[in-house]
Structure 1
């Protein structure tokens, strides 16, 4: 069996690279992944998977940070112009771009794998030192770039789908492949959980190219200390007035926003674990001689545990309310993303290690049991749901030489990691299907 899996993965190496480069050239950001999702859905359907799309895959009421309707419509039109499937795209109207594919192969556990699809909100480098530009597969979509490797994740996921479909007569259980929108900004996992994408899952696998496995041939088998986070915007609404003749008639939203930004960074740290607060954007005012009537603050809280993050976010809301009261302006807080804390299950990570040790691609000295993420990833939301039901999961990092750090406009990874990524996940699925079903309806 292991030889068959290795041959299947190796045989698709060139197609994996081609698919990754196609996805890299046409990146789509959170809730606008219409082209990407339609290609995924079409490939899964062709391979014999049962599909869940639209409201079956994403709960509309749980979506956060969704672009305006006119922007979504424009992205749908662009996706069709870039050879997305119009019929499938139409089923995703409103940004419902999650895709779930299921392969039922008799009695046995339910094994789910999650692959994120979205790109970053940034422009890609346009110089010959950057391989995607030099070789002609850099982004053609302004303000969007695959700067975190999710194009590789989708390519791996579809390779896994193809290999498992070819071997379905040897599977015992159910494979569920989850292609998630909106990981950037931690927006996509919650609405998919709420739509039932993780219902009945016994074993959950996810992962990332690179990140803390920065050399080709390395592998991290489990990831711990996902930081819980809340992404939020605060709008301050004041009253404009002539700054020279009648400043007393105004209500200064700029000062309220500035006061909130400074004092959010003064929130006391938490004694039970790490905590963070960051105000990343502050926009306010209209003209130098007008009392500013508007202010916008974009911020995030983080915590080593969900409870610590909740503490920081609650204090941040208090600070915003206090600043608004001090300057006599109105304010509103909007949550645009959230994720929980969490970490991998050691027993499942140990099984990943055993599998990786049998693959020549991974250097024995480069296989690591676990690392602390010290960042946020909404895979933790899915993992928490699987654990609530009695299942287990792990998050791996597939080593790759990187041209630049993640979220850099020169980001690129070693495409030799794609085929081994497929082989690893397929072998993990077969391994999990030798285990008992843990979740009971």
Structure 2
């Protein structure tokens, strides 16, 4: 047995006594879909792509949705180019595009995604009056080299990353598979659905870079309900459901470039302006920013590099940092203080500092009225072994831009967690989750969609 499911077997819950025909429909569907979910997830896991380079992943998703009968929008139709942050160098995107084509992605879809506009939206019109319900799934991987030890299930079973230095270390491969599973369930012709369903497959969640650009493209303008979720995180009990979260951290991700003047460190140090010392001073002082009484905050300098050699005054340095806070107001305070410190450190050493925004997110709440619906559906779901209304998130996720967009219109949003046992923590080279978590997510999303449809 691997990942908690014996190869070729149905889910353990499939033979349990069912409460109602309604449950029969969902559990049977999950069982039929399970192998497809596993196949999708493992394919995405073998071929991970970092944010704004997900050409193969997005092309496969678009092709699958189209084959199921969804109206598919992709590329510039769903991503506003000017609203993107943290866009890779064009050479990196071109290499990813070529690799996607070499690995069999349909050329027409790859071209549609053009310069890294790798978002996809599938639209299903039921033909009956009703609300527009959107589900969001993130699809990008991380720049992490995957573990290659015998204890790591993806490596042992042959579906570990084939792209050196890149892996799905956060479960987005599972999220993409769940989205396709929900699409399959919808396309089977489920009775009773009304209105419109939008399945949003978002690039560049890591680093909080993708959601804002999709919001700017207008894909949420008519949405009445928005749901998204994540495998694992604080939900570490297998098949646990967390209906919503509190304490999203608003965040800013900065790259800071310090430019000084090079000089010989021995006979002419006075002619130089040391950019590396300016960056190091800023790094230390950033961690000394006073905490704010109105909310929790986090500051982290994650990378510092610069200089040319030991006997030369460093003419350049790069500082990469992030700021996080539980409220947008506290984040604004951190932003002001961090900017002041960076420019003060630059002035101390007579160098220039330039701050580039490469990612951002905001804080947003989950709506109690939608939590009520999710909780009722979760308690009806036989695959769910434990239901929790909310847990604190204590991290950042740019889904909050989508949540804010619908909530400003008076619509409802929530962000769920799907419990799983983890082989290692998120963003770890040995990360892996139990694949039987995916049918639970498909079932629950389907139940919520049916419940919302029944309300109209």
**C-alpha distance in 2, partners of 1:3/1:306?**
44
How far did residue 149 of structure 1 move? 0.6
Q: Normalising to structure 1: TM-score of the pair?
A: 0.97
Residue aligning to 2:346: 324
Whole-Å Cα distance in 2 between the matches of residues 321 and 294 of structure 1?
Answer: 15
Q: Any residues of structure 2 matched to 1:376-387 within 5 Å, and which?
A: 376-387=396-407
Of 57, 62, 70, 1:36 maps to: 57
Q: 2:228 aligns with which of 206, 225, 238?
A: 206
Q: Which residue of 2 aligns with 1:292?
A: 314
Tell me what 1:370 maps to: 390
> Over residues 68-123 of structure 1, what are the superposed CA-to-partner deviations in whole Å (9 max), with x where a residue is unaligned?
11110000001111121111011112110000111111311000000000011100
SS across alignment from 2:394: coil
Aligned-partner SS, 1:415: coil
Aligned positions, number: 434
| Cα offset, 1:19, TM superposition | 1.1
Q: Which of the residues 199, 205, 230 maps onto 1:177?
A: 199
Partner of 2:436, secondary structure, is: helix
| Partner SS for 2:401 | helix
Residues of 2 paired with 1:131 and 1:2: CA distance? 32
C-alpha offsets along residues 252-289 of structure 1, whole Å, 9 cap, x if unaligned? 10111011111111111111111111111010111011
Alpha-carbon distance between aligned partners in 2 of 1:75 and 1:374, rounded to the nearest angstrom = 33
1:87 aligns with 2:108: yes
Alignment counterpart, residue 413 of structure 2, candidates 379, 393, 399: 393
CA contact (8 A) 2:248 2:364 kept: yes
SS of equivalent residue, structure 1 residue 374: strand
Q: Do structure 1's residue 9 and structure 2's residue 30 form an aligned pair?
A: yes
Partner of 1:20: 41
SS at structure 1 position matched to 2:455: coil
Q: Structure 2 stretches of 5 or more lacking a match? A: 1-21
Residues 29, 182 of structure 1: 8 Å contact kept? yes
The residue that corresponds to 2:331 in the other structure is 309
Say if 2:454 is the partner of 1:434: yes
Does residue 166 of structure 2 align to residue 161 of structure 1?
A: no
Distance in 1, Cα, partners of 2:400 & 2:455: 23
CA drift at 1:217: 2.0
Question: What is the alpha-carbon distance in structure 2 between the residues aligned to residue 430 and residue 361 of structure 1?
Answer: 17
2:237 maps to 1:215:
yes
Q: What is the aligned partner in structure 2 of residue 344 from structure 1? A: 366
TM-score (norm. length: structure 2): 0.94
Separation in 2 of the partners of 1:245 and 1:254? 19
**What is the alpha-carbon distance in structure 1 between the residues aligned to residue 105 and residue 329 of structure 2?**
42
Cα separation, 1, equivalents of 2:125 and 2:246: 31
Contact 2:170 2:427 (C-alpha < 8 Å) held by counterparts: yes
- 1:48 corresponds to which of 53, 66, 69: 69
Q: Deviations over 1:299-339 (max 9, x none)?
A: 00111111111210121111111111111111110000000
Q: Is contact 1:301-1:309 (8 Å) kept?
A: yes
Q: Distance in 1 between matches of 2:277 and 2:382?
A: 60
Runs of at least 5 residues in structure 1 that lack an aligned partner in the other structure: 437-441
RMSD: 1.1
User: Secondary structure at the residue paired with 1:221?
Assistant: strand
> Partners in 2 of 1:108 and 1:270 — Cα distance?
45
- Structure 2 CA distance, aligned partners of 1:426 and 1:181? 23
How far is 1:2 from its partner?
4.2
Shift of 1:168: 5.2
Contact map agreement 2:193 2:454 (CA 8 A) in 1:
no
Where 2:252 maps in the other structure, the secondary structure is strand
**1:169 positional shift:** 5.6
User: Is 1:141 matched with 2:181?
Assistant: no
For 2:257, the equivalent position in structure 1 comes to: 235
C-alpha deviation, 1:185, in angstroms? 0.3
Residue by residue, what CA displacement relative to the aligned partner does 1:130-181 show, whole Å, maximum 9, x if unpaired? 0000000000001110111111101110000111111256311000000000
From 95, 98, 107, the equivalent of 1:74 is 95
CA contact (8 A) 2:241 2:417 kept: yes
1:439 counterpart residue number: none
Between the aligned partners of 1:143 and 1:387, the Cα distance in structure 2 is: 38
* Residue matched to 2:83: 62
In 1, the alpha carbon distance for the partners of 2:392 and 2:454 equals: 29
Give the structure 2 partner of residue 248 of structure 1: 270
2-structure distance, mates of 1:359, 1:272: 39
